Structure 1
Amino acid sequence: MARVKLTAARVRDFQCGSGKAQSFLWDTVEEQMAVRATAKGAKAYIFQAPLGDGRELRMTIGSPADWDIAHARERARELQRMIDEGRDPREEKRATMEADRAAAEARRHAAQREAVTLRDAWDVYVAERRPKWSELHYRDHVTLASAGGEPKKRGKGLTEPGPLAALLGLRLADLSADCMAEWLAVEAEKRPARARLAFNLLRIFAAWCESKADYRGLIDPQAVSTRLSKDALPKRGTKTDALQREQLAGWFAAVRQLENPMMEAYLIGLLVTGARREELAGLRWDDVDFRWRSLHLADKVETESGRRIPLTPYFGSLLRELKRINETPPNVRQMRRLAAKGETWKSSDWVFSSKTAADGRLAAPNNALHRVCTAAGIPAVTLHGLRRSFSSLAEWTETPTGVVAQIMGHKPSATAERHYKVRPLDLLRAWADKLEAWILAEAGIDFKPEQATPGLHAVK
C-alpha cells in the first residue's frame, strides 16, 4: 500500500495503474485517507477504516475539484471520531440525508399551503360536503361564488359575480380582518342580504378548514368574526310575511291561474302542511301513503328517521292527480322521439318532478309564488312565509300549539312536550283535517273529501 504525504501536485498527477479498475494513493498524515483514481480518469478522496465489529468501512469524501487536502483530512478525522464513539458514519449520513429530505418536503408543503387560494379550498369543500347538503344549499354555494358573465336563464343580459367572487383569488393566508371588513363594506352597499349569507357560509367554510391539516391555521380567526358582520351589515329584521285570513280566496284563485298542476299542488302543500320548502320538494312517491293518509318527510331536526305527518284530504286529492299524470306514458310520437335518442320512458320517483332540473325534481318555485301574489294583489309572501301561514292560521281553529309544532317539525319547547307527549298520527290528522277544511272554506273552495280530483273551484 503506497503512502506519501498528499499534496496538490501529487493528487493532480496521480493516475490509475495500467490494467486496473482503480488505484489508491494513501496519505501519511491522515492514514485512513487516500486519493482514488479510476481507469476512466475520475478521482476522489476516500476514507477507509475498520469498524468495531470487524467490518471494513469505506466512504467517499469528495472530489479533489471540490475538496482541498486540508478539508479532506478534517473530514477523515471527523469520520474516525464517529467510529471511535461507536457510531457508523454511513448511518449518520443516511439519517442526515433523510432529515434534509424531510426538511425540504416540509418547506415544499409549507409553500404549497401558503399558496392555497380560497377558490382551491372552496372547490374541495363544496365537493366533499355536497352529499350532505340539500340542492338549494348547494346552489347557494355555487351562485355566491360564481364569477358571473354567463347569459341569464331568465331575461336578457349577463349574470353578475357572486359576493364571494372578489375573494376567490386571494390566498387563505391573506384573508385578514381588514380584508374582510373592506369586502363587507362594499357588498353591504349593494346587496346586504346576499352579503350576510355569503359571510355566514364563509364562516362555516373556515371552521371546515380548521378540521383539515392542509388548511389548518391559514385563515385568521378574526377574519370570520361575527363582530365584522355586525359592524358592516344592517340589522336583519324579523320576517313576518304570511297569508292573512282575508287573502286566502284571492291567493287560491291566483294559484289556479298557474295552469301547472305540479306547482299548484306544491304551493298548496306548503300552506296546508307547514313543511319546509326542501322537505316538500324532496318528497318521493315512496314517502306518500294514500291508504293511511300520511307523508314521510326528511326532517331538518330528526335527520335520521325524518317525521311522519298527516296527508289531508284536499292535498291528498291533488297528489293523486299528480300521480296519475306521472304514471301516464307519453303518446306514440313522444315515445318515438325518446327511442331516437336511445332513451326509454319511466315515471319519476319525485312527487314534484321537473324535466329541466338537474336532479329531476322541483328546484326554483319562488318565481311562481311571486306571480301568484302579484295576481292576487297581496303583499309578497315567501315560500317560508307559507310555512309561517300554516302556524298563524292554525290559531283560528284553536289547534294546540304542540300539535302545530309536531306537524311542522319544530323542537319541543317544554319538558312535558319533549319527554312525555308523543301524539299519534291519527290525533295529528284530526287537527290537520280541521285546519285544511277551515282554510278551504275561507278560500271559497267547494271540496268534499270523497272527491277524487277536485281541481280548484272558487265559489263566486
Structure 2
Amino acid sequence: MRITKSFVDKVEIPPAKSDGKATQAFYRDSAISGFGLRVTSGGSKAFIVEKRIDGKVKRKTLGLYGNLTVEQARKEAMKFLGKVASGVDPIREVKEKQAQRITLKDAFEDYLATRKNLKPNTLNDYHRSMREMFKDWQSKALKDISRDMVLSRHGKYGQRSPARADNGMRVLRAVFNHALQRYQDSSGKPFLAANPVDVLSHQRAWYKVEKRQSLIKDHQLKAWYDATMQLNTETTRDYLHLVLLTGLRRTEAATLTWDQVDFKEKTLTISDTKNSRIHRLPFTDAIEALLERRHKAKESPFVFPSDAERGHLSEPRTAIKRVSALSGVDFTLHDLRRTFITAAERLDIPAYALKRLMNHKDPNDVTEGYIIFDVERLRVPMQKITDFFLAHAGLKESQAPENMEQ
C-alpha cells in the first residue's frame, strides 16, 4: 500500500501477546522500495527505511510519526537510499561519526560493560580513579585527550600519591586499549591514532612504588589486641581478630556468610576468591569461639553485618585509626594478612601448607596440580598460628621457640 497521512492515522494497532509482551507490525510503501512504517502494540508509529547493504538487510528508524510528517519521512528515506546507491553505508557512517565523538565517560561505561567479572573492590577502585583523577575529562572526546595532558595529569597527582597516580593511569590505559579495538572504521582501522597513556612508558614516567611490607611485630601484638578490645563495636573487633587469625583478604572476611561456616566440620569456605579457587580453612579453638558467639546473636546472613546498604561490613577505617592511636601500631587490613603468613613461615609450616593457608596458586607449579589437599592437613598449622598470636597477646602460655621475636 502507499503510505499516506490518512493511512498512518487509521492504521490498526497490533495486539500485545497473551503474556503482555509487546508486538510490532510493519507496513511497506508501494511507491518507494525500502520505505515503511513500524507500529507497536503500545501505539508507537515510526517511519523506517530498509536496504540490503553488503549482503545484509539494514534498517534505520527515521523518526516517530508526529515528529516527522509522511512527506518529511519520504525525503529522509530517499536521502538514505541515494547514499546506498552511491556505495555509502549510511548506518555505518553514523556509527563512525558517533565513535569519533565518543567521550571518556561513555568509553569507560562501555569498558565496564564488557568486564562483567570484576570484583567489587576493583570496580570501586576504577570508579574512584575516574572520579578523582579524571573528573574534568568525562565529557572530553577520547581523540582530544593528548599525550601531554596525560603526562601533566600523572605528574600532578603523583605529587600527592605516586601509587594512586599510577593506578589511575592504568585504568585510563585499559579504557583506551578497549576503545582502540571497539571503535573502528569499515576497514577495521581504529579511529584513535594511539593510546596516549603509552607516553608514560616511552618517557619512563611511571613511578617506582615499593610494595608495602609492613606488619604487626611480635612485641606490638599485645598493645594492638588490647586496643581492639576498647572498640565500641563488637562486630568490628571480631572482624579484625578473624582477619588476623585466618589471613583472609579484607573482602573475603567482610562478605563471609553463615552458609559458608560449617560448625559440624569446623571449617569456613570462601568460594568467591581472587584466583577463583575455593579456599577452605579449619577452625582453631579461638576462631570457633568467636564464630559461635557471633552465631548465637546473629541477625543477618552475614557474619559481620552492617546497617549500610550492602548488608555487610565495609573497611572499618575509623576503627583502624582508633586502634592505631590507642596502640601506637600503624597498620592496614592487609598488614594483618602479612602478619599471619609471616608467623606461619617462622613456625616452619611446610611450603604447600603455606600456599593453601593463603590460597596462593602458582600457574608454573605443575606438581601442585596433582596434589589433592585435605583441609585437615591445615588444622594443626592453623592452631599453631593461633596459639602464637594468643601467646603474644598475653592470652595463652607461649609454646613458641625463644627466638621468635622480630
Q: Structures share a fold, TM > 0.5?
A: yes
| Alignment match of 1:392 (pick from 342, 362, 368) | 342
For 2:204, what is the secondary structure of its paired residue? Answer: helix
Aligned position for 2:163: 193
Q: 1:249 aligns with which of 219, 222, 235?
A: 222
* AA in 2 matched with 1:278: T
**Equivalent residues in 2 for 1:256-295, closer than 5 Å:** 256-295=229-268
Which residues in structure 2 correspond to 1:310-325 (within 5 Å)? Answer: 310-325=282-297
CA distance in 1 between counterparts of 2:80 and 2:335 reads 70
Q: What do residues 260-290 of structure 1 show as CA deviations (whole Å, max 9, x unaligned)?
A: 2211121111111111111222211111111
Letter in 2 for 1:320: E
Return the offset for 1:186.
Answer: 1.8
Q: Does 1:350 align with 2:322?
A: no
SS at match of 1:309: strand
- Aligned counterparts of 2:337 and 2:112: Cα–Cα separation in 1: 29
SS at match of 1:232: coil
Q: Which residue of 2 aligns with 1:104?
A: 90
Q: How many residues are paired up?
A: 318
Residue 142 in 1 paired to residue 114 in 2? no
Q: Determine the structure 1 residue equivalent to 2:118.
A: 133
Alignment correspondent of 1:44: none
Q: d(CA) in 2 for partners of 1:143 and 1:189?
A: 18
Offset, 1:443: 0.8
Matches within 5 A, 1:151-166: 162-166=132-136
**CA offsets 1:98-147 (integer angstroms, 9 cap, x no match):** 34484333332221111111012223333554x5233322222222222x
* Amino acid in structure 2 at the alignment position of 1:285: W
Separation (CA, whole Å) in 1 of partners of 2:331 and 2:352: 25
Give unmatched runs, 5+ long, in structure 2: 1-78, 398-406
**Residue correspondence of structure 1 range 296-311 to structure 2 within 5 A:** 296-303=269-276, 305-311=277-283
> Which residue does 1:370 correspond to in 2?
321
User: Which residue number in structure 2 is paired with residue 26 of structure 1?
Assistant: none
Segments of structure 1 that go 5 or more residues without pairing to the other structure are 1-92, 147-161, 328-347, 448-460
Residue-by-residue CA offset, 1:377-434 (whole Å, 9 max, x unaligned): 12x2111111111111113322223212111111148747523433311111111011
Q: Is the 8 A contact 2:147 2:199 kept in 1?
A: no
1:218 deviates by: 4.2
Paired letter, 2:304: F
Q: Decide whether the 8 Å contact of 2:83 with 2:90 is kept in 1.
A: no
- Match of 1:108, as an amino acid? V
The superposition leaves residues 163-203 of structure 1 with CA deviations (integer Å, 9 ceiling, x where unpaired) of: 12132222112233233112212221233222111112222
Q: Contact conserved, 1:313 with 1:433, CA < 8 A, in 2?
A: yes
Equivalent residue, structure 2, for 1:174 = 144
The DSSP-based 3-state class of the residue aligned with 1:145 is: helix
Could you tell me which residue of structure 2 aligns to residue 73 of structure 1? none
Tell me the distance in 2 between the aligned counterparts of 1:277 and 1:142.
19
Give the whole-Å Cα distance in 2 for the aligned partners of 1:202 and 1:350. 35
SS at match of 1:231: coil
| Residue 168 to residue 365, structure 1, CA distance change in 2 (3 Å) | same
Aligned 1:38-117 pairs, distance under 5 A:
98-100=84-86, 102-117=88-103
Give 1:436 shift: 0.5
Give the Å deviation of 1:233: 4.2
1: CA distance, partners of 2:325 / 2:202: 33
- Whether contact under 8 Å (2:173, 2:195) holds in the other structure is no
What SS class does the counterpart of residue 280 from structure 2 fall into?
strand
* CA distance in structure 1 between the aligned counterparts of 2:312 and 2:91, rounded to whole angstroms: 48
Question: 1: distance between equivalents of 2:191 and 2:313?
Answer: 39
Equivalences for residues 5-44 of structure 1 within 5 A: none
CA distance in 2, matches of 1:414, 1:421: 14
Q: What is the SS of the residue equivalent to 2:159?
A: helix
- What letter corresponds to residue 308 of structure 1 in structure 2? R
1:306 maps to a residue whose letter is I
Q: Which whole-Å deviations, capped at 9, do the CAs of 1:276-322 have from their partners, x for residues lacking one?
A: 1112222111111111111111354541x522122222122212222
Superposition deviation, residue 94 in structure 1 = 11
Q: Deviation digits for residues 70-90 of structure 1, max 9, x if unmatched?
A: xxxxxxxxxxxxxxxxxxxxx
TM-aligned CA distance change 1:364 to 1:354, over 3 Å: same
Q: Report which of the two structures shows the higher radius of gyration computed on alpha carbons.
A: 1
Question: Quick one: distance in 2 between partners of 1:360 and 1:179?
Answer: 40
* In 1, Cα distance between equivalents of 2:199 and 2:234: 44
Within 2, Cα distance between the matches of 1:423 and 1:352?
Answer: 29
Asked whether the 8 Å contact 2:177–2:195 carries over to 1, the reply is no
Task: Please give the alpha-carbon distance, in whole angstroms, between the structure 1 residues aligned to 2:212 and 2:203.
Answer: 18
Determine if contact 1:301/1:411 at 8 Å carries over to the other structure.
no
User: Residues 170 and 213 from structure 1, CA distance in 2 versus in 1: closer, same or farther, beyond 3 angstroms?
Assistant: closer
Q: 1:269 to 1:166 in 2, by over 3 A?
A: same
Shift in alpha-carbon separation, 1:218–1:268, aligned structure 2, 3 A: farther
Separation in 2 of the partners of 1:229 and 1:446?
56
User: Is the 1:187–1:195 contact (alpha carbons within 8 Å) kept by the matching residues of 2?
Assistant: yes
Identity of aligned residues (%): 27
* Cα distance change on mapping 1:94 and 1:223 into 2, 3 Å: closer
| 8 Å contact kept, 1:366–1:383 | no
Q: Return the alpha-carbon distance in structure 1 between the equivalents of residues 368 and 231 of structure 2.
A: 41
Correspondence for 1:440: 390
Q: Distance in 2 between matches of 1:429 and 1:140?
A: 35
| Structure 2 residue identity aligned to 1:253 | D
The residue type paired with residue 283 of structure 2 is: L
- Aligned equivalents of 2:88, 2:224: Cα separation in 1: 69
Residue 203 of structure 1, aligned match among 173, 188, 207: 173
Contact 1:177 1:220 in 2 (8 A): no
Q: For 1:341-383, what per-residue CA distance to the aligned partner results, in whole angstroms no more than 9, with x for missing partners?
A: xxxxxxx222221112x221112223322321221112x2111
What is the distance in 1 between the residues matched to 2:209 and 2:260?
36
Alignment CA distance shift 1:361-1:134 (3 Å): farther
Q: Which amino acid aligns with 1:239?
A: R
